[in-house]
Structure 1
Amino acid sequence: MTTAVKTPDAADAALPAADEGFSKHVWLTAGVIVLGAIMSILDMTVVSVAQQKFIDVFHSNQAQVAWTVTGYTLALAAVIPLTGWAADRFGTKRLYLIAIAAFAVGSALCAAATTLPMLVAFRVLQGLGGGMLMPLGMTIMTKAAGPDKVGRIMAVLGIPMMVGPIAGPILGGWLIDAASWQWIFLINIPVGIAAFVYSLAVLEKDDPKPSESFDFVGMLLLSPGLATLLYGISSIPEKGTFFTPKVEIFTAIGAVLTIAFIPWALRKKNIHPLMDLRLFKNKEMTIAAVSMTLFMLAFMGASLLFPQYFQFVRHENSLHAGLMLAPQAVGSMLTMPIAGIISDKRGPGKVVLVGIVVTVAGLAMFSMLTDTTPYWYLLLALFIMGLGMGSTMMPIFSAALATLRDATIARGSTLTNIIQQVAASIGTAIFAVVLTNGLRAKGLGQGMTPTGTNPLHDMAHAYSSTMWIATILVALVFIPALFLPRTKIENPDAANIPMGH
């Protein structure tokens, strides 16, 4: 079997052996993938600042408009497992174009929505397209550049993943203030058209494998299982506790379906399971998955807290709250390219360990919040945290994908994206509940009378207490990260890596 490096374009690019950079074709491909990733990730965060606007326009409450975010997330969870098989069956280019088109059409429909149920339904359509963009992007980039440069690939793909949560609130706040809420969706249409034309021109012609069978049983178990599980978990903040019938029933059904998928996927007769759990026979993949799960729990949970603190405790508007998060993006962009190069040359282990220490330091600074904490202190903490995140997240992704064969790259990127999405949803729910209960303990819940003489001080204390959990979770990543490779990951066609095929 040949490696992913030996595609025609990549092989030509490899001729000047002294050049360790990317070929022109790889850089053009990277532009396609980053554009698609920015569309998907920005749209997950840009809607967060429109929640109050939706409440006013549709005469709804916070729990109801929250489904404009949750519906998108559930669609992502449902479609990601199908992406690996569909990429093998129909080809990555064709599927990528379909995903962009679905996302752009969904965006246009969202802007035309006249009721909240319509908006939620169209957000689901957006999510079906957006959910395929990131795993497909990872697959396309890894095949184009080769597994030996996967660290630098992840650094490129990591830019929208880091910048999106910061740029989204800024862009959303500006569009709502300057124009109308419809423009947070309308802006996707010209970007989607540009991405479609760009992808059509740059991406290589598909070479699909139509002989591969589709795992119908796996689809009936995993896709509805993940969506139902995350629906139950996403309902926890609305109810304030796990112990309500809605949360318990949907979470239990989703968990049963998802767990039932595991023995089905591992059956010897199941040659092409919807999600290839046999990849966990690869030690690096397993360790990276554990590290990724803990990190995403904390990262997404913390991402929920920062803009809320600025808006509710410091009374910043949505635009200013988004701008306050810019140092985090700057820090991550500084370290991410360096971390990618070091990860490729010396292994991801050392880079991740340093990144965890730095991230913990930044988060620990936030665990001492008050309602009068100086802004320079807050911005410095975000910058430090960005430095750490840029050195942590993408090297973990690269560790997961670096030893995969050409034939399993699509399934590996699908698996890592599912892990990321599930962990992010669970983390968001956990931190929302912890914060809500912390506020209620201070008498700061909706309709409650504050118990203290300084409500803002008590509110800040609830945020700082919740940040301690994020700090501890990131610190725990240090344990599995100790076992990540600390030397260059060799992938001579991954011949000695057990994959279960």
Structure 2
Amino acid sequence: MSEEITAASTKGESRDAPAGQLSDRSLIGVALVLALGAFVALLDTTIVGVALHSFTGYFNASLADAQWASTAYLLAMSSVIPATGWAAQRFGATVCWTASLSVFLVGSILCGTAWSLGSLIAFRAVQGLGASMLFPLMRIIVVEVAGRERMGQMMSTMAVPLLVAPVIGPVIGGALVQEFSWRWAFLLNVPITLTVIVLSALRIPNSKGQAPGHLDIVGLLTMGGGLSAVIYGFSKPAEGTSVADASVVLPMVAGVLLLATHGVRAARARTAGVVDFSLFRDRSFSASTTISLLNNFGLYGVVVLVPLFFQQAGGKGPMGAGVIMVAQGVGTAVAVLLVGRVIDTKSNPRALVLIGLLLVAVGITTFALADSAVTNPLLLAALFAQGIGLALAASPVMVTLYHSLPVTSVPAATTANAVSQQLGGAIGTTVVALLLQHYVSSAEGVAAGFQSVFWWALAFVVITAVPALFLPAGRPQQS
């Protein structure tokens, strides 16, 4: 039977192979397709960040108004993510993946042809709806096609777009906006996304879980609405709004109330809601999800603070800072080539994550001690070490999330983890932005202000090491 599956997959018929039984060659193909799909979505986000100032000039709008192009995208993502697990079981993860890419493609085309800021904001929301399920679906598909034994290597490949896109995004975005037009920030997605859709339909098998019944609409409204409200509330201080302003307080209160309502309702229900809180009884899942949330504090400092350091304290442009960050990307690439196979064979994810956090801490400490943003070999070496550390800290957590859970819980576990990551991203972004505003404005110089924030980022990395101690040190349980 295995010979037939292998033969079929090598002839381009991998869609007919049962989950977890694809050949190594077919798995590599699936991993590359998934990585490319995630990469284009993340690349779009980083490029749009560079293009925001172009929106203000073209549409004669304020930066606060233009910022809604990013906010609408983020809120649309947050509102739909909780439905991922249900959709994957109802229609199949690959079908949902292809559909999400198609919506993202349509949104990209519409954004590239927007005629006003209002239309751009609306079309960015369409883009966000398409991108919302991509990352959790990517992980569900990996578990389905790779099985427990080969999941580590594929998950490591999946970590590449998460770590590389923020590095090269500003470079590509700066070049496109400067040499052509802001519209290419969106039109660039079209040929790449179309290619991923075609390859996904041809190469990735689709399988459905147990019939989940009807979608819990009330649960989706309370969880999705609460998550969106909280994230919106956190996004305002990052834009310079006072934390006591009504535009911050009211969404936060409404969001907390909606999330609390969802929690109480879920506790009383006989069946799991859109987010299955019973999963947090599993030690490995809880530790992995906590790390995913905290990573957005410390590791955000690495991915975003460092380029800002070179731009604001060193006078580099987005392209110049992006070129310097290539050193971190090289470190990530080197680690990814090794970490996946180590996870699958040596299987001590706890040690890998702790080593990764240590390397990130060493890199951040180097920047915290730097009294200027002048590029030198020591800072480049720190970036290289951080790149290795980021891969070691992120990749194993994608595997330990499912360490002792049954296969039937994978969609629900991935959804819960994605919700946690969204919250962590919003909170982490706000906290780092507020710290940066405070210290840069109060310090004697910009470099000194960044030094203080780097020390905070180091503290967040140390805190992240606490749940990492509770990660498993053995092979995943077969279930």
Please report the TM-score for the alignment, with normalisation by the length of structure 1: 0.88
Q: 2:81 aligns to what SS in structure 1?
A: helix
Q: Within 1, Cα distance between the matches of 2:376 and 2:393?
A: 26
Asked whether the equivalents of residues 17 and 205 of structure 2 are also in contact (C-alpha less than 8 Å), the reply is no
The one-letter amino acid paired with 2:273 is P
In the other structure, the counterpart of 1:88 is 89
Q: Within 2, Cα distance between the matches of 1:461 and 1:353?
A: 29
The one-letter amino acid paired with 1:140 is I
Matched, 1:303 2:290: no
In the other structure, the counterpart of 1:170 is 171
In the other structure, the counterpart of 1:496 is none
| 207 and 286 in structure 1: CA distance in 2 versus 1, 3 angstrom threshold | closer
Q: Within 2, Cα distance between the matches of 1:95 and 1:116?
A: 30
Asked whether the equivalents of residues 241 and 433 of structure 1 are also in contact (C-alpha less than 8 Å), the reply is no
In the other structure, the counterpart of 2:466 is 479
Match runs of 1:421-432 below 5 Å: 421-432=422-433
Q: How far does the alpha carbon of each residue in 1:202-260 deviate from its partner, in whole angstroms, 9 at most, with x for none?
A: 12244365552211221120001000100000001233532211111111111111122
Q: Within 1, Cα distance between the matches of 2:452 and 2:336?
A: 29
In the other structure, the counterpart of 1:340 is 340
Q: 1:273 aligns to what SS in structure 2?
A: coil
Q: Displacement, 1:355?
A: 0.9
Q: Within 2, Cα distance between the matches of 1:264 and 1:152?
A: 39
The one-letter amino acid paired with 2:321 is A
Asked whether the equivalents of residues 147 and 403 of structure 1 are also in contact (C-alpha less than 8 Å), the reply is no
RMSD over aligned Cα, in angstroms? Answer: 1.9
The one-letter amino acid paired with 2:91 is F
Q: How far does the alpha carbon of each residue in 1:388-420 deviate from its partner, in whole angstroms, 9 at most, with x for none?
A: 111101111211123332211111112222211
Match runs of 1:218-257 below 5 Å: 218-257=219-258
Q: Displacement, 1:135?
A: 0.7
Q: How far does the alpha carbon of each residue in 1:60-97 deviate from its partner, in whole angstroms, 9 at most, with x for none?
A: 33333222222222222111111111111122122112
In the other structure, the counterpart of 1:275 is 275
Q: How far does the alpha carbon of each residue in 1:8-28 deviate from its partner, in whole angstroms, 9 at most, with x for none?
A: 445655xxxxxxxx5222222
The one-letter amino acid paired with 2:478 is P
In the other structure, the counterpart of 1:285 is 285
Asked whether the equivalents of residues 89 and 212 of structure 2 are also in contact (C-alpha less than 8 Å), the reply is no
Q: Within 2, Cα distance between the matches of 1:376 and 1:77?
A: 41
Q: Within 2, Cα distance between the matches of 1:313 and 1:149?
A: 44
Q: 1:367 aligns to what SS in structure 2?
A: helix
Matched, 1:199 2:200: yes
Point out the more displaced range, 181-190 or 141-150.
141-150
Q: Displacement, 1:335?
A: 1.4
Match runs of 1:43-192 below 5 Å: 43-192=44-193
Q: Within 2, Cα distance between the matches of 1:34 and 1:372?
A: 33
Point out the more displaced range, 227-236 or 278-287.
278-287
Q: 2:239 aligns to what SS in structure 1?
A: helix
In the other structure, the counterpart of 1:317 is 317
Asked whether the equivalents of residues 226 and 259 of structure 2 are also in contact (C-alpha less than 8 Å), the reply is yes
Q: Displacement, 1:372?
A: 4.8
Q: Within 1, Cα distance between the matches of 2:401 and 2:19?
A: 22
Q: Within 2, Cα distance between the matches of 1:140 and 1:243?
A: 43
Residue ranges of structure 2 left out of the alignment (5+ in a row): 1-15
Q: Displacement, 1:428?
A: 0.7
Percent sequence identity over aligned pairs: 30
Asked whether the equivalents of residues 296 and 429 of structure 2 are also in contact (C-alpha less than 8 Å), the reply is no
| 249 and 268 in structure 1: CA distance in 2 versus 1, 3 angstrom threshold | closer
Q: Displacement, 1:362?
A: 0.4
Q: Within 2, Cα distance between the matches of 1:292 and 1:261?
A: 22
The one-letter amino acid paired with 1:328 is Q
Matched, 1:492 2:474: no
In the other structure, the counterpart of 1:330 is 330
| 372 and 209 in structure 1: CA distance in 2 versus 1, 3 angstrom threshold | closer
Point out the more displaced range, 68-77 or 130-139.
68-77
Point out the more displaced range, 140-149 or 374-383.
374-383
In the other structure, the counterpart of 2:213 is 212
Q: Displacement, 1:487?
A: 2.0
Q: Within 2, Cα distance between the matches of 1:69 and 1:302?
A: 21
Residue ranges of structure 1 left out of the alignment (5+ in a row): 1-6, 14-21, 443-451, 453-457, 494-501
